[in-house]
Copies of this chain bind each other. A is one copy, B any other.
């Protein structure tokens, strides 16, 4: 499986979030505490939005994040108000750049932790459900990328929670047709550069860990001495596979079967369940 992190808020150097915390994502690449594997060394990726371009930059590579000097350089010199980072532990598919997260389509980014159970057997059926126009843009061989293209097929750009629900519905239906009891396991992050959606769901109701950071105002009251908290805006929010440190009150588990949205008009959380996709 994998670990990931999504940041939205006051523009910061990526290293502030990626390297500096005690149990940073880079630390998790060697010593994950809550992941299925403690080591996440099969590639990584970081995607960020800049001040003036709608399309994010995405840098991905196939070695472990912990020893990658280019990631260190970029993190130390690039500021962003909205970025994704992902470390990969392959469950079988090839370790190659096109299998690293985040994935991009236009101004949208997508990253995933989890798996489609027995994906190997379902891959062709799911691939056929992708819009033929979009099919051409898939480059890798992961379930994660295919889930992204299914969600795009089902209207991700118009209705993210609905499109993800239909994607999940299709995966479950296809799985059941192949005799798979619990087809889907996912924590997902999706963004268009302005809003950020996080999802936690699994067919078995035993999803991988996912946390969101406490509202900055509340944290400031709890920890008036922390300079960092005075520097970031009230709307700053993190969604992470596992907490970046042990700060009391800072991290909250996303409940099972939930979608959260980080957005200028106020963050929200609501329940999430797969939905039967319209017939293809």
Contacts of A41 in B (CB 8 A): 39, 41, 64, 66-67
The answer for the CA separation of A58 and B75 in the assembled complex, in Å, is 11
Q: Which chain B residue lies CB-closest to A125?
A: B132
A176 at the interface (CB under 8 A from B): no
Q: CB < 8 Å: which of B42, B57, B128, B135 contacts A123?
A: B135
Q: A53-B77, A59-B73, A73-B57 are in contact. Are A97 and B94 (CB under 8 A)?
A: yes
Whether the pair B59, A62 counts as a contact (CB closer than 8 A) is no
Q: A77-B53, A78-B78, A90-B67 are in contact. Are A139 and B141 (CB under 8 A)?
A: yes
Contacts of A69 in B (CB 8 A): 60, 94, 97
How many copies the complex holds: the figure is 4
Classify chain A's interface size: 35 or more
Q: A38-B38, A59-B74, A63-B62 are in contact. Are A120 and B96 (CB under 8 A)?
A: no
A258 at the interface (CB under 8 A from B): no
Q: CB < 8 Å: which of B48, B70, B97, B124 contacts A135?
A: B124
